[in-house]
Structure 1
Amino acid sequence: MDHLDKLESQSIYIIREAYKQFKDIAVLWSIGKDSTTLMWLIRKAFYGRVPFPALHIDTGYKFKEIYDFRDEWSKKWGMRLVVGTNEQSRNSGMGPNAGDKLSCCGQLKTDALKQTIDKYKYRAILLGIRRDEHGIRAKERVFSPRNRQFQWDYKDQPPELWDQFKNKQQGEQHIRVHPLLHWTELDVWMYVQREHIPIVDLYFAKNGKRYRSIGCEPCCNPVDSEADTVDMIVEELRTTKVAERSGRAQDKERAYMMQKLRALGYM
């Protein structure tokens, strides 16, 4: 069993354990490389199907390529797609150019996610975040409890020693489950390479630029790169010193801001 086999095996175990414990569950699908890899693992875990809804939080500002990919592959994979939006905030004009990034992400992403979870009564959500993405995400647990308001107390996290996960809810807790927490960016791309996982074209270089992290179009900038194939991306990541999220809106990426967003329920 090689490195990728071990990562795959542990993630599939976590996915199956989450589904066993929480039947009212969904997977958050941002359409990025990590959440699409998670979707691939879920399909492996359940023999080609996704037995629970795929939840996409739509701010209204995503790249066209993201919407096209979502619609195409949700049909091909036979997923139950749920699109969550904060209609009130969108109708009031909230967006990347209206106010600060904390307010925009808070209303169009965090509040939209909370509203959708509350509407469909999901007891747990699977997400494709990784510890190496951001210092604040490194504080997460595989099974991460939130309170009734979906808020995360990063100072009060259950220990997870020797892969013993605290996968039981207490009272009205909501659980976030992170099956890719132990993966790295390079691991994900090597797995995409091995498994031939479909990926949004935005990740591949055009005219010397490509996106390493994708989300809302106004908040993402491409980085310098000539990597226009998965093989070239893998080779690039072996040597690059550029941070993965360097192309994202920097006021949101600062440690304090990201920690505040996540404490309020951000992905």
Structure 2
Amino acid sequence: MKSDHPRMSYLSQLEHETIFILREAFARVKPTAMLWSIGKDSTALLWIIRKAFFGHVPFPMVQLDTEMELPEVYEFRDRIATEWKLDLRIELCPPEDEMDPTLAPASRAAARKTAGLRNLIGRDRFKGIILGIRRDEQSMRAKERVFSPRATDGAWDFRNQPAEFWDQYKTEIPEGQHLRIHPLLHWTEIDIWKYTLRENIPIVPLYLSRSGYRYRSLGEKNITSPIKSDASSIEEIIAELEATNVPERAGRLMDHDSEDSFERLRASGYM
């Protein structure tokens, strides 16, 4: 629900729209869970959820765990889960040798989370899965809807999606299917960092420069690399982003696989 209030800042309007989406999802789609990657986007979304529901998180947080995250990510996860009293559920993902052998190596490693999510939904029958993705992250994600239907096997038909006009969302779910819900779809990377700074949201310290390198996007240690950067504070990250044209996911190795790898991952259910 967009607001034209003249005194509302741009960040407050983004927050307002996201809270509206979250409350719509909670009211209309049950049962629901949220995927928490422990990265900057999903942690900012988790912060907004706590605002939307008056300090309470009314659905489970799920980490799809390949056991390949960096140590700092696990440390941050455990600390925040305790401090914020989260219903945190760890879903271990199947091994890489069970993934599609025709995928490029890094994409095959990433596909483990798709399989883990499919197992989670099949077992716990979630009808809604909330994620912290944004349209500006990757070209395939630019095609997403806020409420995005998924087939029984998790596949995404990006060529046949419901229209979303005037904040009217289609939330009916055919038997066996589920909805992916994207409350941050309209945000940008800089928006997330400006909001994190404004709200003083905790972050994994890997985002800040150490010895001339930092992680711009967090993923498994076998498929993610840091970038060269001297940005050791959020203010410096924002300034750096305002001056760069390097893609956010430049450190994600799977994004450098064959041209159709990410499209194949997304179409089959990747986040």
Matching residue within 199, 210, 213 for 2:214: 210
- 2:124 corresponds in structure 1 to 120
- Quick one: distance in 2 between partners of 1:255 and 1:7? 32
How many residues align? The count is 261
CA positional deviation for 1:105: 2.0
1:177-256 alignment to 2 at 5 Å? 177-251=181-255, 255-256=259-260
Asked if the contact 1:205–1:228 (Cα under 8 Å) also holds between the matched residues in 2, the reply is yes
TM-score by length of 2: 0.92
Partner of 1:83: 90
**In structure 2, what is the equivalent of residue 132 of structure 1?**
136
Give the match for residue 104 of structure 1. Answer: 109
1:93 Cα offset (Å) = 8.8
Please state whether the residue corresponding to 1:163 is helix, strand or coil.
coil
Q: Classify the secondary structure of the residue corresponding to 1:144.
A: strand
Q: What is the SS of the residue equivalent to 2:33?
A: strand
Q: Match of 2:242, as an amino acid?
A: R
| Letter of the structure 2 residue corresponding to residue 179 of structure 1 | P
Corresponding residue number in structure 2 for 1:73: 80
- Could you list the per-position Cα deviations for residues 71-116 of structure 1 after superposition, in whole angstroms to 9, with x for gaps in the alignment? 11011000001111134x26x698xxx972232222x210011101
1:81–1:40: structure 2 CA closer, same or farther, 3 Å change rule? Answer: same
Q: Superposed, which structure 2 residues align to 1:10-29 within 5 Å?
A: 10-29=17-36
The secondary structure found in structure 1 opposite 2:249 is coil
Distance 1:104 1:211, change over 3 A: same
CA distance in structure 2 between the partners assigned to 1:256 and 1:175 by the alignment: 24
Q: Secondary structure at the match of 2:251?
A: coil
Q: Does the CA contact (< 8 Å) of 2:110 and 2:254 recur in 1?
A: no
- Residue 170 of structure 1: CA displacement? 2.5
Cα distance between partner residues in 1 of 2:105 and 2:222: 13
C-alpha RMSD of the superposition: 1.7
Give the letter for the 1:146 counterpart. R
**Deviations, residues 136-189 of structure 1 (Å, cap 9, x unaligned):** 000000000001111100111111122221122123221000000000000000
**Gaps (5+ residues) in structure 1?**
none
Q: Distance in 2 between matches of 1:148 and 1:93?
A: 20
Identity among equivalent pairs (%):
46
Cα deviation code 1:231-251 (max 9, x no counterpart) = 111111111111100011045
Q: In the alignment, which residue of structure 1 is the partner of 2:50?
A: 43
Instruction: Return the alpha-carbon distance in structure 1 between the equivalents of residues 258 and 189 of structure 2.
Output: 20
TM-score, scaled relative to structure 1? 0.93
Structure 1 residue aligned with 2:5: none
Check conservation: 2:249, 2:255, Cα contact below 8 A.
Answer: no
Q: Is the 8 A contact 2:32 2:59 kept in 1?
A: yes
| Residue matched to 1:143 | 147
Aligned to 2:39: 32
Q: Which runs of 5+ in 2 are unaligned?
A: 1-7
